Amino acid sequence: MTTAPVWSMVDLQNGYPFDSAEFDSAGPTPLVRIRDLSASDFETFLPFDVPDEQAILPGDLVVGMDGDFTVRIWDRPRAALNQRLCRLRVKNGVADLRFVAYALPQQLERIHATQFATTVKHLSSREILGCRLPAKSLPEQSRIANFLDERVSRIDRIIAARRKQATAVVEEYEAARASAVLSSEWPERRLSHVARMGTGHTPSRSNVDYWRDCTIPWLTTGDVHRFRKDEIDVLTDTTLQISELGLKNSAAILHPAGTVALSRTASAGFSIVMGRDMATSQDFATWTCRDGLLPEFLLHVLRARRSFLLGYLSMGTTHKTIYFPDLMDLTVGLPPLADQRSAVADVSLYGESRTQVLAALEKQVALLAEYKTSLISAVVTGELDVTTAGSGIPV
C-alpha cells in the first residue's frame, strides 16, 4: 500500500503556553485543554481574545499530545489552543481533513503502544507529522470520509442509546433501593443512638517502625474506587495496611467486622461494610451497629441518601467534606429487624438484576466500539472498497 507522510497533507500548529494566572471560570474566550476534547462544557476561560495562530476554529483537527492522544474534529465555537495540543489544517486541495481524522488515530495508537511511561505518555509534533497515511486522491478521500461519516454516526447513535439505557438501569435501581430502605412510616432514630460512631487515623509517617510488618487492613480513600459504583457491599481487603505498633501509637482504631464506613473527604459519600476487622484513615466515619440495626440495612440507607449527604451536609466547592457534627445529627428510619432483612434481600435482588443488565449493555458497547475501529481501519486502508460496499455491511 502506498503511503504519504502527514506533513504532506496538513499544516501543524502547536498550542500556546497561556499564563495560568489569567485562567478564569468565565470570559470571552474558552480555553481548550486535553481534558476538554471529550467534555461537553468548557471549564476554563481567558479574559481576552486570541490571535488566529493561537485559536481553534470549527472544522480544525485537534490532537491531544499527552495521555491517550485523542483526535477530534473541532465542532464547537472558536477557542484558545492550549499547550500540549496541536491543530491540523489541510494544505489547499491536498487532503480531506475528515480522512486524516479517520486515518491518523491508528498510527498514533501504534506510537502510544511502543512508548514506556510510568505516568503519562507524550507525543511530539514531529511524530505526528512523520506518521504515514494511505495515499489516496482527494476524491477518493472524500468518498471514504462520506461513507465513514454515515456509518460511524449510526454506530455512535447505537452506542449512545446503549449508554442511555445503562443510565436508566442505574436510576431504576437507585429508585427501587430508596423505596426499599427509606420510609416515612418508620420511627426516626438518631444514628449515633443505634450505632457506635467512630473514625480512624494515620500513624506517623516519620516513624519508619510504624510502617514495618504491616498486616492490619487499613481503609483509605485509595480504596473508594472499588465501591463508588455500589457494585460491592462488603470489603475484605484493602490497598494499604498498617502495623500493630502503628495502631497502638496513633489514634487509629481497629473496628470489628460488620462496621459500616462512609468516606467523608475527597471522594465523599461512598459507603462499604467491613468484611473483617479493619482500621481506617481519618477520611472515614464509621458506625458499629447495635442489636437493633443491621449493617447491611444501614449501608443501603447511606447509599440511598448519598445525594442528601453531599447536597446538604458536605462543605467545599472543589473537594467535598462531610463533617462529624453533621453526621452526629444524622437520623435513620428504623423498622423492625425482620423488615430490615426483607429490605436488604430486596435490594440484593435489584442489584443482581442491575449487574446482569449493565454487563450485557457494556459488552454490546465494547463490541460496537471494536467494530467501529475495525470498520474505519478496513475502509481507510482499502481492505473494504466503499464503491462496492453496500447494504451487506452491518449497521
Domain boundaries, the chain: 3-134, 136-184+335-395, 187-333
Nine-digit cell string for 175: 429508585
Q: What is the pLDDT of residue 323?
A: 87
Beta bridge partners of 79: 56
CATH 3.40.50.10860 matches 187-333: no
Distance CA 233, CA 97 (A): 49
Sign of CA dihedral 159, 160, 165, 166: positive
Q: Has this prediction a pTM greater than 0.85?
A: no
Which amino acid is residue 38, in one-letter code?
S
Beta bridge partners of 195: 289
Question: How distant, in Å, are the alpha carbons of 85, 121, 221, 382 from that of 325?
Answer: 46, 44, 21, 66
Distance CA 70, CA 61 (A): 10
Task: Kindly give the residue spans of alpha helices, DSSP state H, lying in the chain.
Answer: 97-114, 125-130, 138-181, 191-194, 244-248, 295-304, 306-308, 324-328, 337-381
Q: Length of the chain in residues, anyone? A: 395
* Cα 81 off chain centre by: 24
The residue assigned the cell 481533513 is: 97
pLDDT < 70 positions in the chain: 117-118, 313-319, 389-395
122 in helix, strand or coil? strand
Please tell me if the domain spanning 3-134 has the same topology as the one spanning 187-333: yes
Nine-digit cell string for 98: 475528515
E strand or H helix that includes residue 80: strand 79-81
Q: What is the pLDDT of residue 98?
A: 96
51 sits in the region (left: phi over 0; alpha: psi -120 to 50; else beta) called beta
171 in helix, strand or coil? helix
Q: Summarize pLDDT for 104-148 with one digit per residue, the tens.
A: 999 999 999 888 766 788 999 999 999 999 999 999 999 999 999
Kindly compute the dihedral angle of the four CA atoms of residues 39, 41, 44, 50, in this order, to the nearest 10 degrees.
Answer: 100
Q: What is the DSSP string of 213-249?
A: S--EEEE-GGGGGGTTTS--SEE---SEEE-HHHHHT
Kindly compute the dihedral angle of the four CA atoms of residues 70, 73, 75, 81, in this order, to the nearest 10 degrees.
Answer: 60
CATH of 3-134, one of 3.40.640.10, 3.90.220.20, 3.60.10.10, 3.30.465.10: 3.90.220.20
Cβ–Cβ < 8 Å for 199, 324: yes
End-to-end CA distance of the chain: 27
Q: Summarize pLDDT for 230-267 with one digit per residue, the tens.
A: 999 999 999 999 999 999 999 999 999 999 999 998 78
Q: What one-character DSSP code corresponds to residue 40?
A: S
